[in-house]
A and B are shown apart, each in its own frame.
Chain A
Amino acid sequence: MTDPATVLDVLLAGALVAAAAAVVVTADLFKATVLFIAFGVMMSIAWGRLGAVDIALAEAAIGAGITGALLLHAQRPRAPAPARSGAGADAARERPLVRALAALVAALVAALLLYALAAAPARLEGLAPLLRPRLDEAGAENPVTAVLLNARAYDTLLEIVVLLAAVAAAWALALPAPGRSRPPENLLAASARVMVPVAVLIGGYLLWRGAAAPGGAFQAGAVIAGAALLSAFAGIELPRRGIGGPVRAGAAAGTLVFLAAGAYGPLRGAPYLHYRGHEAERWILVIEIAATLAIAIALVGVFMGRPPPGGERRAS
């Protein structure tokens, strides 16, 4: 009698491959985006089946949710850019040489991945045996959080810096804002009045529980960003002037707080980003709170495509 979980896994793997193939082959961009969102949701289930619940949460919130919304938002009807001869993306898609090259690269990557999978040992120990005896020193019961924010804190610090750079770049490339504001969307506003407070609560819960159970700053930031986007779609307007400064400060806060937390180590003669035990718990919480704010602002900022009004330095 086949294990039903294995049947589920095989079906899931097959569905993932089918969805990915459908995304690549579909001619209609909108359909491809919707299929991509479906692919993201199934990927999240796959991560859950592999026991990586933190990644499953992040994939569902960021990979399927925010990225899907971003892709759909990018396809909204707007004034066409001035046409340039032969340089359009559609032209590139149709040229057979480009498609052949893309197929070749994809086949090479697939072959490399299959080879890596075949050559990998049957069981990979990973960091678990190193981490388990020292988990109480690490300041978090959830081993994922312990690794992300303590054992491998440099990587996470650089990720937060990359997010800050991404939102700065997105805002630097901003097109001027459309003159008219979005008309109020009553039905969405009604549902937003329920969903946004619940989403903020869930985000806070994910942030707090991240230390002991799956969760953490990225997942919480993505959920809160989703709530902010829902408010934006519902036409709930933020005050036009004056919020630019606080928003920019919030975006930078993640990086600054993380850098400051790292500097605590050298103050006591320890290496940078070196914290242990009870102080590790406190620093991890502080870093995660600042990171959640920064991640939420970064995701919404990249989505909106332009900085909030106010807070810029004047040119004159």
Chain B
Amino acid sequence: MLEIAAAALIAMALVFFAAGTAGVIRFPDVYNRLHAVTKADNVGLGLLVLALAITSPTPLEAAKHAAIWILVLIASTTACHLIARDALRRGIEGGRST
């Protein structure tokens, strides 16, 4: 029963990862691409972590998975903001194809 729920969560996570990757490839400028990769991929990772958490043998292991997700969130939001700020400083404007 839990396995089916985990499989469904992983399938949803794959959808989000695919959406994020499609966004990185197809969006016109760096800001949109950052949007796609950080938001979609992090949600995908969150769903994946949830799937792992509900099927892990001990609560400690589930907590470790959740900690991984939180650390990835911190790292990716920091990196995203720094890249966006650097792009802004260089004068890259949104909406145009780069």
Binding site for B on A (CB under 8 A): 187-188, 190-191, 194-195, 198
Contact = CB atoms under 8 A, between A and B. Distances in A.
- The listed residue with most A CB atoms (<10 A of its CB), out of B71, B75, B78, B81, is B78
Contacts of A194: 74
Interface string B56-98: 0000000000000001001100100110000000000000000
Contacts of A187: 78, 81-82
Main secondary structure of the interface of B (DSSP, over half): helix
A188 B71 contact: no
A190 B71 CA distance: 13
A23 to B, nearest CB: 19
B75 A195 contact: yes
B74 A195 contact: yes
Nearest to B67: A198
Interface of B: 71, 74-75, 78, 81-82
A191 B72 CA distance: 11
Contacts of B81: 187
10 A-B pairs closest in CB distance: A191-B78, A191-B74, A194-B74, A187-B81, A187-B78, A195-B74, A187-B82, A188-B78, A198-B71, A195-B71
A187 B78 CA distance: 7
Contacts of A198: 71
A190 B81 CA distance: 13
Contacts of B78: 187-188, 190-191
14 contacts: A187-B78, A187-B81, A187-B82, A188-B78, A188-B82, A190-B78, A191-B74, A191-B75, A191-B78, A194-B74, A195-B71, A195-B74, A195-B75, A198-B71
Nearest to A192: B78
B34 to A, nearest CB: 15
Nearest to A194: B74
B13 to A, nearest CB: 16
Nearest to A190: B78
B83 to A, nearest CB: 11
Given A187-B81, A188-B78, A195-B75, 11 more contacts: A187-B78, A187-B82, A188-B82, A190-B78, A191-B74, A191-B75, A191-B78, A194-B74, A195-B71, A195-B74, A198-B71
Contacts of A190: 78
Contacts of A191: 74-75, 78
Contacts of A195: 71, 74-75
Nearest to B78: A191
A188 B75 CA distance: 9
A190 B75 CA distance: 11
Contacts of B82: 187-188
A194 B74 CA distance: 9
Contacts of A188: 78, 82
B18 to A, nearest CB: 15
Contacts of B74: 191, 194-195
A194 B70 CA distance: 11
A195 B81 CA distance: 16
A195 B75 CA distance: 8
A187 B81 CA distance: 9
Nearest to A191: B78
A311 B78 CA distance: 36
A58 to B, nearest CB: 18
B76 to A, nearest CB: 10
A187 B82 CA distance: 8
A268 B36 CA distance: 64
A38 to B, nearest CB: 13
